[in-house]
Amino acid sequence: MFRGSTSTASFHLLCSGLLLALPVTALISLCLFALATPVRGQDPAGFPGSLAVERAMAMNDRIRDQYLYQQPDSAILLARELLSFAKEHQLREMQAKAYNLMGVALYQQGLFAEALGNHEEALTISRSSGLLLQEATALNNMGSIFQDQDDPVRALDCFSSSAALLEKSEDKRIYPAVLANIGIIYSGTRDYLRAIEYFTRSLEADRAEGNDIGVASSLNDLGLIWLELGDAQKALSMFEEARKIHDRNKSDKGTAHSINNAGLVFLKQGDYARALSHFRNALSLRQKIDYRQGVANTLADIGKTFRSMEQTDSAMHYLHAAHDLALRTGLISLAGETSQALYMFYKNLGKPGKALEMLEIHRQMQDSLSQQKIEEKLAQQKFQAEYDRREALFEAEVARQKLESELSASKRSQQLKLSLAILTGLLLVTGILIVQRNRIAKEKKKSDELLCNILPEQTAAELKAAGTAETKSYASATVLFADFKDFTTHTPKFTPNALVARLNDYFSAFDEIVGRHGVEKIKTIGDAYMAAGGLPQERPGHACDVVAAACEMLNCVQKKKQELEARGEIAFELRIGIHTGPLIAGIVGTRKFQYDIWGETVNIASRMQSHGTPGKINLSDTTYVLVKNAFSCSYAGEIEAKGLGRMRLYHVGKEGKT
């Protein structure tokens, strides 16, 4: 659930699931992110009204109001600039706000681990600086992530801690949002009386403050409770009132949420035509703003509707789409729900192989959270054992020194014997410590090797030496995007192991190719592969390096296609898009590092790929100018790129280099 208002620059959205077939705990996805507005005239560095503080406030407001939910990529980029500026001027509060902004934007993209890491950074800064509001905001946001990861216990702990801080704070702007989140936790456990109590308290607080968006959010929450309790008309009237509020405030995300909730009412009443109409309107709005979690949930709702209409093909189509997107964005609960629904379809259709595949995925989703908790517990036990061992050694040394001081001169002979025994013991302990040190050295070597596999070598070295790596701007770099045509369509034809093995074959080959050409692999996203030339170390000719690597990647896939088709197996075709321009690169995350790149150059490269033809390499006009003397290229017309206008593109010829 996203929660918020125009005054607090936050937003409340409850993601719907498969309402009739599933319990409430699987219906309500909590994603509340409340971003506190700046306190005018208050400078954490101690100089009220300074130009630095005013500029940081303006940057914060711009990111929050113009980019955070509409363009999360740009929001991350600008929040990093805000963080750098805040660190330079020692503005602790603005540093915390920058981390919270990045966390919200990363959450929008389904990157939960990275989002959590940024909110933890905000929490650390806020606690050390006595910033109650920012500390409460960070805890609130962390609770939202835990709830999305099906961990209501940790989520409720975060929300309760946030509420306790806000009760002490004079600034209670996000207090209604936190109350609503606690209500959602109780709703998920079917404690509807307590849920209604907290939602009503939140609603009254927002009305008292004139917070329209907060009021609409609580209306949506209460409407879902009344729908679950069987009062469909009361629920529908609340959803309609919430929609009107969101429309007045031009909140596409809120409007989509209210429309989707109304669709759930019609679905429960069996009015499938109106249900589908509402879901499709909500889907269009959610796709427009690239709200992936919402898109996944609405796709599932459409699939549920077609299932109720006994239109099997349409139901399976939308459930598969929801399932794939849920897996890509880390929505474990929704992935489990859709795999269970698909399992029943395949079972009833007499397809035991596909039914078993979906059942295995369903079980994996159920097991994933418990396995994660087991690993965390084992890690904690390992740390405790090491701590206890060190404490025992320390206590033994203290006891030895105390015993030596108590020995009298008349017992020198005994002291000598005792000293020899102690010396022997110390030698033994020293031996143990040496063995332990060697073991630690081996583990450190493994961790260093793993770090170099995750990050560029230069960046990894910087991180190990300084504990952090500087975010860098590049005046010119070349970005490559590649993905496989109709990958999602063919996915159901593979077992999970076979699908992963096939992708691993391709991506391993791509890793080897880009490595030889001095191109840096950035990441993979589902069936998409992203790489860049000219970073982390700037080098001339990076555009040619990337195009040369792209030609090899394409040849590799085409050769594999011939081999697979000869054996009667499914083969994929590759689309590649390349663009050259300025960008920013750096590390995101604190516990799970990821080297990533941002900027319009990345977006244009993605557009080059998405408008590409299978078996072709699409070049932007900029890249073409840099490589036209080295590669055979041909003009391929213009495309209309969303948000970028018309763009010329070129194809690299089959013969590659001229």
Indicate whether 626 belongs to any domain.
yes
Residue range 563-593, pLDDT digits in tens: 888 888 888 889 999 999 888 888 765 555 6
**Coil vs helix vs strand at 456:** coil
- Identity of the residue numbered 368: S
Compute how many other C-beta atoms are within 10 angstroms of the C-beta atom of residue 273: 10
How far is the C-alpha of 456 from the C-alpha of 83, rounded, in Å?
Answer: 23
Indicate whether 499 belongs to any domain.
yes
Q: What angle do CA 34, 39, 44 make, to 5 degrees?
A: 105
Band (pLDDT 50/70/90 cuts) for residue 304 is: very high
Of 48-62, 207-221, 222-236, 507-521, where does mean pLDDT reach its minimum?
A: 48-62
- Structural domain boundaries, residue 495: 470-657
State residue 228's pLDDT score: 85
CATH number of the domain that 566 lies in? 3.30.70.1230
**Coil vs helix vs strand at 634:** strand
**Coil vs helix vs strand at 620:** strand
Averaged over 378-389, what is the pLDDT?
44
Indicate whether 190 belongs to any domain.
no
Indicate whether 93 belongs to any domain.
no
Compute how many other C-beta atoms are within 10 angstroms of the C-beta atom of residue 538: 12
Compute how many other C-beta atoms are within 10 angstroms of the C-beta atom of residue 179: 24
Band (pLDDT 50/70/90 cuts) for residue 214 is: confident
- Identity of the residue numbered 632: S
How far is the C-alpha of 185 from the C-alpha of 412, rounded, in Å?
Answer: 70
Indicate whether 503 belongs to any domain.
yes
- Identity of the residue numbered 57: M
Per-chain mean pLDDT for the chain: 77
C-beta of residue 94 within 8 angstroms of C-beta of residue 86? yes
pTM for this structure? 0.42
Residue 637's H or E segment, with its range, is strand 631-641
Handedness of CA 248, 5, 600, 110 (dihedral sign): negative
**Domain total in the chain:** 1
The CA–CA distances, whole Å, from 321 to 60, 264, 316, 317, 580 equal 36, 19, 8, 6, 32
The CA–CA distances, whole Å, from 152 to 23, 119, 200, 296, 437 equal 14, 18, 21, 21, 40
Rounded percentage of the chain residues whose pLDDT exceeds 70: 74
How far is the C-alpha of 194 from the C-alpha of 374, rounded, in Å?
Answer: 31
State residue 411's pLDDT score: 55
Q: Which residues lie across from 594 on neighbouring strands? A: 588
Which residues neighbour 507 within 8 Å (Cβ) at sequence distance 6 or greater? Answer: 524, 529
C-beta of residue 108 within 8 angstroms of C-beta of residue 127? no
Alpha-carbon dihedral angle through residues 38, 42, 45, 47, given to the nearest 10 degrees: 140
Averaged over 292-306, what is the pLDDT?
91
Indicate whether 622 belongs to any domain.
yes
107 or 492: whose pLDDT is higher? 107
Indicate whether 401 belongs to any domain.
no
Band (pLDDT 50/70/90 cuts) for residue 2 is: very low
Indicate whether 505 belongs to any domain.
yes
C-beta of residue 69 within 8 angstroms of C-beta of residue 11? yes
Handedness of CA 594, 600, 604, 610 (dihedral sign): positive
DSSP labels for 375-419? HHHHHHHHHHHHHHHHHHHHHHHHHHHHHHHH--GGGHHHHHHHH
State residue 463's pLDDT score: 54
